[in-house]
Amino acid sequence: MNKWLPTLFNRDRSSEIGDPFGALQAEINRLFDDVGQWPMPRLMFGVPRLDMSESDKELDIQVELPGMNEKDVDLLIEDDRLTVRGKSDVERDDKQRDYHIKERVSGAFERRLTLPFRPDPAKVKAKYAKGVLAINIEKTAQTKATGTKVPIQTTP
């Protein structure tokens, strides 16, 4: 284990014998204290960050994929679901270095979104530049419909 990361399992618990709730509270407090010391990667737990916005004409999605190439990313549309998946290959397994901080994440990732409508795959455009995947989904006449009002009945 890296000497700079907090150790949660190798603590001296001899002073906590007695009140079981006091020991539990002490452990919870330590966990919350240690959270601030953990590395917080931009690609947390294999899920890239994104923004999704909508206008009358289109749906725009911006996905952060820092340091990646467009050939490492797959974009899939299935019914009303959009899936962004890929693999990040950050080189950092240098055995002769002692890292102080490791925040860059490598490995496979996948992010699935349920869209507010079922898009026409031919009306979906994607561009990748400067670490951001920009997805534009044009709304069709069918997706622009505002919906159907459902009457609410009152009970006597």
pLDDT at 138: 94
d(CA 48, CA 84): 9
d(CA 100, CA 98): 7
Indicate the class that CATH gives domain 44-138: mainly beta
Comparing 4-8, 44-48, 95-99, the range with the smallest average pLDDT is 4-8
pLDDT at 109: 86
Q: Which pLDDT band, with edges at 50, 70 and 90, does 31 fall under?
A: confident
Q: Are 111 and 85 in contact (CB under 8 A)?
A: yes
pLDDT at 4 over 50: no
Q: Is 131 left (phi over 0), alpha (psi -120 to 50) or beta?
A: left
Residue 123 is classified by DSSP as: G
Q: Are 41 and 103 in contact (CB under 8 A)?
A: yes
User: Using only C-alpha atoms, what is the Rg of the chain?
Assistant: 24
Q: Which pLDDT band, with edges at 50, 70 and 90, does 132 fall under?
A: very high
pLDDT at 37: 53
The CA-to-CA distance between both ends of the chain, in Å, stands at 68
pLDDT at 5: 45
- The residue extents of the domains of the chain are 1-38, 44-138
d(CA 15, CA 140): 66
